[in-house]
Amino acid sequence: MKPISLLPGKSQAQPSGTIAALAAYWTLTSEQLFAALHTSQNGIQQTDAEGRIKQYGLNALKAQRQTTAFWLLLSQFKSPLVLILIFAAIVSAFVGEWTDAIIVLAVVIGSTMLGFAQEYRASKAVEQLRSQVTIKSSVLRDGKPQMLPSEQVVPGDVVLLSAGSLIPADGVVLEATDFFVNQAVLTGETFPVEKSPGIVPAKASLAERTNSVFMGTSVRSGMAHVLIVQTGKATVFGQIAERLSLRPAQTEFERGVQKFGYLLTQVMLVMVVLVLAINIFLAKPPIDSLLFALALAVGLAPELLPAIISITLAHGAQQMAKRGVIVRRLNAIENFGSMDVLCTDKTGTLTEGVVRLDGALDPDGQPSTTVLNYTYLNSQYQTGMDNPLDDAVSAYAQQAGAKSGAEQKVDEIPYDFVRKCLSVVTANAQGERTLITKGALENILKICTQVQAGDGSHALDEKTLAAIDEHYSAWSDKGFRVLGVAIRSLDGQAASYSSADEKGMTFIGFLLFFDPPKADVEQAIVDLAQRGVDLKIITGDNEKVARHVAEAVHLPITGVLTGRALNDMTDEALWHAAERTTIFASVDPNQKERIILALRKTQHVVGYMGDGINDAPALHAADVGISVDTAVDVAKDAADFVLLKQDLDILREGIDVGRVTFANTLKYILTTISANFGNMFSMAGASLFLPFLPLLASQILLNNFLSDIPGTTIASDNVDPEWVAKPRRWNTVFIRDYMVLFGLVSSVFDFLTFGVLLFVYRASPAEFRTGWFIESLLTELVIALVVRTRRVFFRSRPGKLLLASTLIVIGITLVLPYVPFNFLFGFIPLPAPLMLMMLGLTALYVLVTEIAKKVFYSRLENAIA
């Protein structure tokens, strides 16, 4: 990414890639910037944009490199386990053991190709899904606004920003109307700051550059035209990206896998040193002993675990996409399944989300054409963010035949979440100006001193306020959302207006909006409750409206908290209150975030669903951020999941898929680590008293490779209903106990096999290795079908791919001793009675494991909760 020189009189690109090499563009006039960037207030030509993308690159912090087969294949060799195997092969070749070296390399290539094939297919599927949700910007090209992917924004573009926009790159403000930006991610400022055109001193800090906007920040309110100066890595955000916490916090499952990996690494190191030392002490061949110790260590670890996790998550993402859920962050899928609290606004989830205006009424509660006409002007002329309330007003007014008359728009004071109102200034044919404001009733009344009565007005006294409050309460109890409308005649011909002019106004009436509850939402609430997910409403609407909706959909209400009550609460008090509260009403964006953090503090996995600007802080704070495809950019960018339809039933299906994904990942870990631990424990023990190595290194690696083949199909395995019945969370203690118990059961049968081979059949070293190879691999393959479920194994049907791959590998295992090239792996044909004995021990192992499983789960019924 090449930054642009903005020194006066120059327009060439500089080769330097650091922001320090640039002149202070915030000190330059718009004319100087236009000249330097070869652009104008109407933006650049589309033909120029393509050349600028080639010159400066895409507007992204990292180059958008598509997943290629070569790089993905290369990444398979970054695993420490693979490197250990390659090291073992080099050692073998160095001492002249060419057969061992070739076999080890063959196993390495087989394992990496297996992982590569699955991961490549999964990564391409995920890329295709992610392309369905892209952040776009409104850009002037050829003088006309176009919606383009933000990564295609280039220096010289003029971007149109409004409330909810995610600022795509660094630039300077050309025009602005009450334009406030949240830039806490860069400056740490708690509140949004106002941006306006102008010139700022060269030494101004980021916070002092009031004429500049920066990539990664978002528009809180107002509108602006911004000239883009720097994109991608040349932005302020790009320059300090390495020092910012750009990656989301690790999920609980990721932390568990990481701890699990540390444990395995420690065990492997101890095993290598201990086994190698003992075997050398017993005067066994040192090279064979080293290869044996390394193979034991590799055999203990589930080396395909990273690939299995990627494949399983990608499969989960594909399944979610089929249900209308696009996954933006794969690692959040497990959190989705672990979620036990879901917080959401009521609009669009509990209600239809299609708001209609039910009436425009005067202060006495009677239908009023005057109120409707003024409201229609306000909605028609506002140009900030798209708003369903304004759409409802326009639809109602047009149906009622309302007309805007000769009034023309003079100015606009956009909506923001502090004032909670929106104003426009109009002028009639005689030039008389009127300020028209609509918004939250409480806020409207604060700026009013008069109330309209007939053709005149009188003071807004206590009696009138009481009557207004009585109307408001009655309508709220019926589920109506009530806004207020006020006007004021303006003197003079001011060039612009601001929120400071919203004072001394006359209250002229009410607007009643209604959003009916969804017909099927009651069943969705029941389904979520059955899955252990508590639903909580967090809304900016008042308590009565929220309570009415909750009662209409039969959501059990255990407590109600208002924003005013929240302000008086300490964080510690909120921790206790949040769990017992169903409805949080009249809350602002910062309070939403406080609620989410309080629930997380009390050990809940919290999901938050939102689609507005005011939802962004809560979406960031939640374990699971959920938005919809029609949401504002800043909400979609903060979300882990994007729904193609705002529906609780889709969420329920997404939760099920998340739990299935978690279950299948855990299945691989449990089945593989318990079998591997048992086999490696047995081999380490056997090496102490056997005069020969119990298995050759090549046989250990082949065993591990063949047993991993069914593991790659685990993502599509069927999952028992009880796995999705409640939230499941990582439990390292459970996995450790599982590994030890079932690993030791496996070892018991290994030692039985040793006894049969040594004392019953008096097997030679080659027969011993062949017999034990068959028994250990058969038990690992069959037992995977047993321990994958808490039920008796034949009452839980495995997935088709898992079953088919298991049967195929079992067939390969049984014929290996009899194939012409068996000598390469040190195998010899076994007599029929000995082979039957191996099969019999396998069947007995299955029976004993079923008994152990029943005892284990009866004692640890709630081990994973």
Q: Taking the CB of residue 265, how many other CB atoms lie within 10 A of it?
A: 13
H-type alpha helices, 516-625:
521-530, 543-552, 563-567, 571-579, 589-601, 616-621
Q: What does the chain come to in residues?
A: 865
**Residue 830 burial (C-beta neighbours within 10 Å; 0-12, 13-18, 19+):** buried
**Residue 431 burial (C-beta neighbours within 10 Å; 0-12, 13-18, 19+):** exposed
Q: Longest C-alpha distance within the chain, in Å?
A: 114
Nearest CA-CA partner of 596 in 577, 611, 612, 618: 618
Integer Cα distance of 323 and 775 in angstroms: 43
**In this structure, which amino acid lies at residue 106?**
A
Integer Cα distance of 605 and 621 in angstroms: 11
Integer Cα distance of 615 and 588 in angstroms: 9
**In this structure, which amino acid lies at residue 322?**
K
Report residue 377 CA to chain centroid gap. Answer: 41
Integer Cα distance of 745 and 733 in angstroms: 18
**In this structure, which amino acid lies at residue 542?**
N
681 φ, ψ to 5°? -65, -40
Integer Cα distance of 865 and 852 in angstroms: 21
Q: Taking the CB of residue 307, how many other CB atoms lie within 10 A of it?
A: 24
Nearest CA-CA partner of 510 in 477, 543, 475: 475
**Cβ neighbours of residue 805 closer than 8 Å, sequence gap 6 or more:** 709, 710, 712, 713
Q: Which run of H or E residues covers position 175?
A: strand 170-182
Nearest CA-CA partner of 150 in 169, 126, 171: 169
Residue pair 447/512 in contact by the 8 Å Cβ criterion: no
> DSSP 3-state assignment of 332?
helix
Residue pair 687/292 in contact by the 8 Å Cβ criterion: yes
**Cβ neighbours of residue 619 closer than 8 Å, sequence gap 6 or more:** 608, 610, 625, 626, 627, 635, 638, 639
Q: How far is CA 337 from CA 287, 549, 630, in A?
A: 48, 27, 24
Q: How far is CA 466 from CA 253, 441, 585, 776, in A?
A: 55, 13, 22, 83
Residue pair 164/196 in contact by the 8 Å Cβ criterion: no
Residue pair 711/233 in contact by the 8 Å Cβ criterion: no
Is residue 345 among the annotated active site residues? yes
**Cβ neighbours of residue 261 closer than 8 Å, sequence gap 6 or more:** none
Supply the Cα-derived Rg of the chain in whole angstroms. 34
Residue pair 635/650 in contact by the 8 Å Cβ criterion: no
Nearest CA-CA partner of 841 in 767, 753, 757: 753
Residue pair 439/484 in contact by the 8 Å Cβ criterion: yes
* Catalytic one of 170, 178, 288, 345: 345
Active site residues: 345
